[in-house]
Structure 1
Amino acid sequence: MYDFKNAPHRKNQGCIKWDKADVLYGCGVAENLLPMWIADMDFAVAPPIVAALQKRVQNLVFGYDFLTDEYYEAVIGWMKRRHNYEIQKEWITFTPGIVTALHMAVNSVTEPGDEVLMCSPVYGPFFGAATDEGRVLLDVPLHDEDGYYTMDWDAMEKAVTPKTRAMLLCSPHNPGGRVWTREELEKLDAFCEKHNIFVIADEIHNDLVFSGEHIVYGNVSEHAKMNCIICTAPSKTFNLAGIQGSNILIANEEVRKKFQAQVAKAHASANVFAGPATIAAYNEGEQWLDELIDVLRGNCQYFVDFIHEHCPELKVRMNEATYLMWLDCRGLGMTEEELGKWFAEKVGIAANVGSWFGQTGTCFRRLNMACPRTFVEDACQRIEKAVKELRK
């Protein structure tokens, strides 16, 4: 049994989530915002990871390290046990974070001027991974059926052109919380084969599934395996974002060589803590993770039930994966600017602005439920109180 009822103190520790909340979301007026924005967890990491890092610190030297065979075996074993995806050591390329990898992936499979397809609302850095690299963004919004997102196949078919060379896929989906079904992914694979589109799949939330089954995109078909880049990491799963370690899986040798050339050019090597932390997480962290998932599922369901019962002006669906709730605030009748001021001054919660995920996210807020239940309860009370004031 692990402690998911208490949160380590993070204020005034150089923590982005806690120390930057007032600056970024307080509009200069809120001093006691409850930070529920940036996607890390307010839980202590699994004890085996702490022990591994303590052991590494005791080495007393922090020079250049390399990733050992034990590291690669841990990644291979995890993907096999948890996702039934058999990979080879040479498929794995380390990068210091997935956002960095997305840029490198786009450069590996497209040329400047090519179109990169994505479906919003979607994780904000997806947009820059295309436009910052001189590619043309092709945004085809997801179909929204009362908060349940699906791919709009007709719109995608009409939008793509011979210049559409890649697609950025968020799986599981952030911020919508969808777990794409095998049927959906098979349809996507057929679509991409028809149009010769290479898939770059951000699967960083692949371990945090509450319902359904996460299907690794490369497991859909042999075509998918050879025409995709799979981006994975222990960072969301085990609360290791600050360790900056990701594992990019590429079966296609030609694409892999292009990707690795960019990694080498950027000197994007592992820091001294990435290896020990990842090995401990993947080899000894499963029991901790299984307990965590129950806690996260409970937090998300509590939030959904509370909003449905007490704040009918707002809409939210129970997510299938991720600890991120996508709150539809359009029923309040506010502009995005007014909503931001209301959250800061009246609600007192720092939540991700919906438009950061694309224009289809306007007047939504993304809230992080990876915290003790008392935080979730506090958030619910703050929202209810502020909504009641609007009714007067």
Structure 2
Amino acid sequence: MVKTNINFIERRGTGSLKWDHADVLFNGEGLLPMWVADMDLGVPHQVQEALINRVNHPIFGYARPHDSLYDAVVNWMKDKHDWTIQKEQVFFSSGVVPSIAAAILAFTEPGDKVMIQSPVYAPFYSCINENSRTLVDNPLLIKNNRLEIDFEDFENKLKDGVKLFILCSPHNPGGMVWSKADITRMAELCKAYNVLIISDEIHADLGLYGHEHTPIAKMNPNSITLMAPSKTFNIAGLQASLVITESPEIMKKLTGQFLKQGFYGLNVLAYPAMEAAYTYGIDWLNETISIIESNAELVTSFINDKLPAVNVIKPEASFLVWIDLRGLGYTEGEITKRLIQKGKLALEPGSKFGKAGSGFVRMNIGCSPETVKEGLNRLYNSFSDLI
């Protein structure tokens, strides 16, 4: 592996949501922020250089993507995910969440049933509820310390008139990489019941420990795949993502919805950053994955040793760890109070991801090992009197 000299960056005082606003958002003081899903790693130097080169041009007018960007995306999907797509199947959106909302509006009507699998990324709920659709839940099961799909319930819900299924793959917050068998089964059931799939695959590039992601579109073309370089390369603030579908009819209807909302393209800096990331970022990504794997081992070994009543669902993808604190016997409110007041630690509360997440927290380990160790010590200090 080529060394890319990844740096851990001091972000205080930069306007960072994660670092500069945690005390206010969590109503605490001196908190260590390990919550929102962005990393403390400097981006690939090629991405920064591409942005500098573009900034050196003194005009920032309207822009369109070059063919070279489409080529970079197509090549990335083939090389990284063994997925062959065409330029015409790609649309650039400002983010996965706006794309989910646009798809809900384009392909369902008020009152229609939209299915999710809880616990899951919070905007899934708001995109459904705020657009007056009916939320249907296929709750995930916990077996052998990992999340699994209840397929009997999955099919029963589809039978009951679900119009749209929103998949989170890999799963956030659980960190599961769904097996090819699971992806195939979900794809086939949705095909059998004529249910359109929206698949949030924003963490797809960050498979850990050799886990390989399978795009569900490979199994069912009646789907919309949402990916982005934002989590992969730590450029979420540039607000750039991908919408991919093999169906010209789906693409036409979805892009029509974006036009209804007044969306016409990305900002002028997003395009060169995306192209540089997908063209040159693989060595940086491989090193980043090694860092995350090492941090995940720190978390698992520390909690198993120091907090035996706490369970860690070891991530198979991404830099987010789903931690089960229910064995401590406290309500979520009590857990949060201890974390903030005693431990001085800001973690995402599990209920943010739905009722099934109550008693859990999500920890961001996309940071230096020193930060992870400090966070673990603060987690321990939050509950040390119970040991």
TM-score, normalization: structure 2?
0.96
Q: Distance in 1 between matches of 2:4 and 2:73?
A: 24
Which residue does 1:253 correspond to in 2? 248
Alignment of 1:5-20 (within 5 A): 6-20=7-21
Which residue does 1:240 correspond to in 2? 235
2:236 pairs with 1:213: no
Which residue does 1:285 correspond to in 2? 281
> Displacement of 1:161 after TM fit?
4.2
Which residue does 2:167 correspond to in 1? 169
Which residue does 1:147 correspond to in 2? 145
Q: Decide which of 346, 361, 364 is 1:368's aligned counterpart.
A: 364
Q: Secondary structure of the residue that 1:99 maps to in structure 2?
A: helix
Corresponding residue pairs, total: 383
Which residue does 1:2 correspond to in 2? 4
Q: Distance in 2 between matches of 1:361 and 1:103?
A: 23
Which residue does 2:375 correspond to in 1? 379
On the 8 A contact 1:326/1:367 being kept in 2, the answer is yes
Aligned residue type for 2:215: V
Q: Secondary structure of the residue that 1:173 maps to in structure 2?
A: coil
Which residue does 2:24 correspond to in 1? 23
Provide runs of 4+ in structure 1 moved above 6 Å: none
> Displacement of 1:162 after TM fit?
4.6
> Displacement of 1:50 after TM fit?
0.5
Q: Distance in 1 between matches of 2:318 and 2:380?
A: 24
Percent identical across equivalent pairs?
39
Aligned residue type for 1:259: L
On the 8 A contact 2:325/2:361 being kept in 1, the answer is yes
Aligned residue type for 2:236: A
Q: Decide which of 67, 88, 91 is 1:90's aligned counterpart.
A: 88
Q: Distance in 1 between matches of 2:252 and 2:148?
A: 34
Which residue does 2:292 correspond to in 1? 296
Which residue does 1:186 correspond to in 2? 184
2:329 pairs with 1:333: yes
Q: Decide which of 345, 368, 379 is 1:349's aligned counterpart.
A: 345
Aligned residue type for 1:241: A
Deviates more, 1:153-162 or 1:189-198: 153-162
Give deviations 1:139-188, integer Å, cap 9, x for gaps.
Answer: 12101114311111122233334531110000000011110111111111
Unaligned runs of 5+ in 2: none
Which residue does 1:114 correspond to in 2? 112
Q: Secondary structure of the residue that 2:13 maps to in structure 1?
A: coil
> Displacement of 1:7 after TM fit?
2.6
Q: Secondary structure of the residue that 1:256 maps to in structure 2?
A: helix
On the 8 A contact 1:203/1:232 being kept in 2, the answer is yes
Q: Distance in 2 between matches of 1:351 and 1:294?
A: 23
Q: Distance in 2 between matches of 1:378 and 1:216?
A: 36
Aligned residue type for 1:250: T
Give deviations 1:307-365, integer Å, cap 9, x for gaps.
Answer: 01111121102211111000111111111111111110111111111001010000110
Q: Secondary structure of the residue that 2:242 maps to in structure 1?
A: strand
On the 8 A contact 1:108/1:255 being kept in 2, the answer is no
Q: Secondary structure of the residue that 2:165 maps to in structure 1?
A: strand
Q: Distance in 1 between matches of 2:291 and 2:72?
A: 25
Which residue does 1:265 correspond to in 2? 260
Unaligned runs of 5+ in 1: none
Q: Secondary structure of the residue that 1:316 maps to in structure 2?
A: strand
Q: Distance in 2 between matches of 1:38 and 1:300?
A: 17
On the 8 A contact 1:162/1:195 being kept in 2, the answer is no
Alignment of 1:12-91 (within 5 A): 12-25=13-26, 27=27, 30-91=28-89
Aligned residue type for 1:280: A
Q: Decide which of 119, 123, 126 is 1:125's aligned counterpart.
A: 123
Q: Distance in 2 between matches of 1:56 and 1:334?
A: 52
TM-score, normalization: structure 1?
0.95
> Displacement of 1:21 after TM fit?
0.7
Q: Distance in 1 between matches of 2:326 and 2:373?
A: 23
